[in-house]
Chain A
Amino acid sequence: MRLNDVAGLRRVGTRAVALVAIGAAAFAIGACGSESDRPTGAAGASGGDAPAAKGSDTLVWAKSFDVESLDPARLHEVTGSIVTSVLYDRLMTFVGDEPTPSPMLAESYEASRDQRTFTFKLREDAVFSDGTPVTSADVVFSFRRLRNLNAAPSYLAAGIRAVEAPDRATVVIEMSEPTPGLPALVASSNFSVLNAKLVKQNGGDDSKAAVKRDTAQKFLDKTSAGSGQYTLDGYDRRSRITLAANDDYWGTAAGFRRIILKNVPTENQLLEVQKGTAQLALDLSPSQVKNVRGDVRLTTGPSVTFFFLTANTDKAVSATAADSDVQEAIRYGIDYDNLVQLVGDGAVQTPGILPSTIAGHLPADQAIRRDVERAKAALARSGIDNPKLELEYPSDFTLNGLSFGTIAQRLQSQLREVGLELELKPGPLATTLDNWRGGREQLGLWTQTPNSPAPYDFLSFCPGGDHAVRVNWDKGADATLTGACEQAAQTPLDDTAALDENFGAVQTQLNESGPFFPLFQPAQVVASASWVTNIRFSNSYFVDLAQIGHE
């Protein structure tokens, strides 16, 4: 039964619609016509989210945040290490992609014969952002705090037996083991030099009881207590970090007046750079930038991180994986070129367990090439019928836009071609990490990013080393190799010829047999506005922000 005054009701309806339309129009005018509030001093930046004009003094960097803290003694992830690399100074530093460190707060250093004691001479003119000079006491405080806080990065300082300051400008570091890589180690962001007085005033503590006594993290997450090119202007852990140029910096002035890190998921970063609402993006993968359009500059290079496959050497875990013939089959069954192609432009095959950006790496022509016949023959020799292995990898972790799943699937189809069947077993990072540490994985797919870009870290792949124990490869397993590893461990960092020779020997042996299969280094791609200049990759800090500038 129809109401006979539906027309009247309709008039009501039409009026309502009209009201809404007028409201929407008013809103649109209000939003578009207004200029956003802007802090003064940001010269050149235009209104709202219009693209920043050429030569702007503000750099907006779109990053997928994984930051947990900006306290150098607590941070252990990428965003934090890049940011602190320009908030703080260090004894030594890596400039751009140079494989050996250069002096920063230290003018020079001397190593004792046994590579155990290092004496650093500090420069006299370095000052913190509050004007006070940088002295050896600050270095001692920072290093002791790093070690005694027992936070995630503390293991880096585990080998330091003592840090002393005989006078204002000298620091003596005594290691418990010979550590030729120390100059590279102290160049990492975790060894940043803090303003001891300021940090102590705000709850900092470097004593043995620092675990309980130190409360400085909150302070350091809001204010930087350093001597770097930039100071920390704002910190909102999940959305925004603002850096302001340090006008009293003792060294080369900062390239921008402000750097703003904005939390943007990887999939949107390129869109923002193309649109101009951001000028720098670091998390992209080569396949993502393939069809990019617009005023975008792409800088590519191989990453220092490399992917590798592992096979368990414990027969109890997997007789198949531990079999040396199966291992040979894997080694020669992988199609390395195909993987590199998959990963994208700028990726390279890792020739040995040292990535191609580290001093002492193998030349590219010595890398393993695929040999299907050899792989099949090795598999036949093993005598195992229908060999099957489980490949475990983290399903929720991506590196440079590359997901482990993608690589695992490709490996599966490659090894299937030589007759080895892989069953993929993805899991959340926490679980797979647990299995990996427990030595329970049959085959594992992992990445290695060195703590410091010196070759010594990679000796963890030697029998008995950190990586080797994960596949149950104990120290006594291979005497010759262990000998070569020990020799390499003692090579001083500035002797490039000896580095090449000793580390070359280790890598060659590992390439002949062993449970590790280095795969590739993914490409790093940086997408930036075309007017951002001097983008250089860094082994330590991913991108050397200290060098960045604009036209």
Chain B
Amino acid sequence: MSALAQAKWRGRLRVGLPSGPWRQPVVVVGTTIAALSLLLSAIGPWIVSDPLAQDAAPLLAPSTAHWFGTDELGRDVFSRVIAGTRTSVPLTLVLVFGAMSIGALLGAVAGYFGKWWDEVIMRVVDLFFAFPLTILAMAIAASLGPSLRNAVIAGIVARWPAFARVVRGAMLQARTADYVSAARLLGASPRRILAVEIARNVSGPLIVLGALEVATGMLLLSGLSFLGLGAQPPTPEWGAMVSEGSKHLAEWWVAGFPGMAILGVAVAFNVVGDALRDMLDPDTRAETEAGR
């Protein structure tokens, strides 16, 4: 579109057209899927038939009656996949917000107060990072007992260090930034400046990591459910559905479609996260990649 045409359209819509990183087709598709998953998690149950009903013949191939076929108990896989958004997506968001809150708080404390606080908190962060992700989450979920709630708790405990590190880094930068000292010299109130600068510095990486962590969280939750430590039957959850379907690999649709759902949502949020990073925080691309 020519610059003139763009300007005209912007004027009419009063809203920005996709620009920069948001213009690429991959990103558009990704954002759409992400939005769709959120939408379905809200209205899902009303638009599909009962995911728990066991009234069809088991292990039917996909057909016009059952778009994704049926599973070993005769349940419609399509309904279960759509209903699964209700389970997987909101809980992943809870996981991310939980980890973000704890992580951001501790990271901010570490970065702001420094010295002793910093040492202790960062050592704890290192401690948690030393446990490979799945094993830590698995140990926690196994100790607490398998349920979706405990899997989410396990996920929060496992992922808060990632946020803590990012926030601490941003906090340190903000504290020592030149413009802070400069503004202080000019007589502005230190607290106010700090608050504004911190918010500006931290919010970017935090939002980016949040989006990317939705993808990681989704994989973690479904992984735990696959092992039997997360969602319990008959709850339709994608990881648990893949596990059930693994006993019937020849009937590929039982495990295939839920897996594709996980893949789709993870891809979507990865893409959104990348685009957000390009928009908000392009310099830290390497850092964010490394920090996960």
Contact = CB atoms under 8 A, between A and B. Distances in A.
B63 to A, nearest CB: 16
B87 to A, nearest CB: 15
Interface stretch (B27-35, B160-168, B183-191, B241-249): B241-249
A291 B234 contact: no
Contact of A396 (B73, B146, B251): B146
B284 interface: no
Nearest to B232: A426
Contacts of B142: 428
B6 interface: no
B59 interface: yes
Contacts of A271: 249
Contacts of B145: 427-428, 431
B232 A267 contact: no
A266 B247 contact: yes
Nearest to B233: A405
Contact of B146 (A288, A291, A428): A428
B130 interface: no
A408 B228 CA distance: 16
A175 interface: no
Contact of A424 (B58, B232, B246): B232
A403 B52 CA distance: 17
Interface in A473-516: none
A267 B59 contact: no
B58 A287 contact: yes
A86 B146 CA distance: 39
Interface string B233-265: 110000000000011111100000000000000
Contacts of B228: 395-396
A410 interface: yes
Contact of B59 (A290, A406, A424): A290
A266 B248 CA distance: 10
Nearest to B143: A428
A239 B73 CA distance: 32
B233 A426 contact: yes
Given A266-B247, A291-B250, A395-B228, A406 B146 contact: no
A180 interface: no
B247 A406 contact: no
A288 B58 CA distance: 11
A287 B246 contact: no
B252 to A, nearest CB: 12
Given A427-B146, A428-B142, A409 B246 contact: no
Given A287-B72, A413-B54, A426 B146 contact: yes
Contacts of A427: 145-146
Interface in A264-302: 266-268, 271, 285, 287-288, 290-291
Contacts of A351: none
Nearest to B227: A396
Nearest to A413: B54
Contact of A291 (B52, B233, B247, B251): B251
B150 to A, nearest CB: 11
A159 to B, nearest CB: 37
A395 B73 contact: no
A405 B232 contact: yes
A426 B240 CA distance: 14
B73 A409 contact: yes
Contacts of B250: 291
A339 B142 CA distance: 30
Contacts of B73: 342, 406, 409-410
A401 interface: yes
A267 B233 contact: no
Contacts of B59: 287, 290-291
B248 A288 contact: yes
A287 B250 CA distance: 12
A401 B250 CA distance: 16
Contact of A395 (B232, B246, B248): B232
Contacts of A410: 54, 73
A342 B58 CA distance: 9
A287 B70 CA distance: 13
B72 to A, nearest CB: 6
A409 B234 contact: yes
Given A409-B73, A413-B54, A267 B249 contact: yes
A427 B232 CA distance: 9
Contacts of B52: 409
A288 B145 CA distance: 29
Contacts of A285: 247
Contacts of A287: 58-59, 72, 248
A424 B52 CA distance: 14
Interface string B51-78: 0101000110000000000001100000
Contacts of A406: 72-73, 233
A409 B146 contact: no
Contacts of A266: 247
A291 B60 CA distance: 11
A427 B143 CA distance: 11
Contact of B246 (A267, A413, A426, A431): A267
Which one of B228, B232, B247 has the greatest number of beta carbons of chain A within 10 Å?
Answer: B247
Nearest to B234: A409
Contacts of A288: 247-248
A401 B142 CA distance: 22
Nearest to B240: A405
Contacts of B247: 266-267, 285, 288, 401
A409 B233 contact: yes
Contacts of B58: 287
Given A287-B72, A342-B73, 13 more contacts: A291-B59, A395-B228, A395-B232, A396-B228, A403-B233, A406-B72, A406-B73, A410-B73, A424-B232, A424-B233, A426-B232, A427-B146, A428-B146
5 contacts: A291-B59, A291-B251, A395-B146, A408-B233, A427-B146
Interface of A: 266-268, 271, 285, 287-288, 290-291, 342, 395-396, 401, 403, 405-406, 408-410, 413, 424, 426-428, 431
Task: List the 4 closest A-B pairs by CB distance, nearest first.
Answer: A405-B233, A267-B246, A426-B232, A396-B228
